[in-house]
Amino acid sequence: MNTYSKQVDSEYYNFSYYMDAARWMSYYEQIKLFHSLEKNSSVLEIGAGLSLNKEHIEEHLPSLVYKTLDIAEDLEPDYVGSAHDIPIDTNSFDAVVAFEVLEHLPFEEFEKALLEMKRVSKSTVIVSLPHFGPPIKFLLKIPFVKEFKFAIKIPYRPTHVFNGQHYWEIGKKGYSPKFIRSVFKKHFELVDEFIPFDNQYHHFFVLKVSK
C-alpha cells in the first residue's frame, strides 16, 4: 500500500492567504452541488481543507450528514486516511466528493482513488480537478438583456512539472480532457461537467455510480 504525507500545514488554509475571488467562486459551485443532493443524504468529503463547506452545511443544510476524510490530522477530519485507501465500509455514504484533491496523488493512483470513492458511495461521486489552459473570456451585459458569457481555453499543453503539490493537471501533456473523461467513463456514468466562468482553472465532474 502506498502512503503519502501531507503537503501543507493547516496554516496554509488561512482565509487571507488561501482565498481569492476565483477560489471563492469554486466554493460557491461546491456549495450548490451540496444543495443539489437529496434531503437527508450522507456525504463524505475527501480533503478537509478550509472548513467553509462544513460551516455552511451545519448552518444551512442540517439534514445532510456530512463527514470529512484527510491524511492531515491537524485539520481534524472525521476519518484519517487517503483517497486511494479509504478506511470506510462499502456503501457507507450516498455521495462522495473530492474537490481539487486527486491531483495531489501521482496519476497512477488516480483510478485507484476513483474506485475507492465508487466503493464507498451508494449513488454519486463528484470530483473537481485543476484544468490548465490560458483562457479567453468574453462577457457582455446590456441593460434589459440577459448577460452573455463565453470562455474557451487556448490549446497549449506543456509537460507538467511536480510543484510540491500537484502531480498532474488536466490540459497538460498526456492529460487531455478527452482522456480524463475516458477514465471516468470506465467506472461511472458521466452525468454533468462544467468549468465555472469565474474560475477557469477548476473543472467539475458529476458522476453516477452503477454497481
Structural domain contains residue 119: yes
Distance (Å, whole) CA 103 – CA 168: 6
Structural domain contains residue 73: yes
Domain span at residue 29 reads 10-209
Structural domain contains residue 134: yes
- pLDDT beyond 70 at 153: yes
How many structural domains does the chain have?
1
**What are residue 117's phi and psi, to 5 degrees?**
-65, -40
pLDDT of residue 64: 96
Q: What is the CATH number of the domain that holds 121?
A: 3.40.50.150
Structural domain contains residue 3: no
Distance (Å, whole) CA 51 – CA 29: 15
Predicted TM-score (pTM) of this structure: 0.91
Average confidence (pLDDT) over 158-172: 95
What percent of the chain has pLDDT above 70?
91
CA 153 to chain centroid, in Å, comes to: 20
The per-residue pLDDT of the chain, averaged, comes to: 92
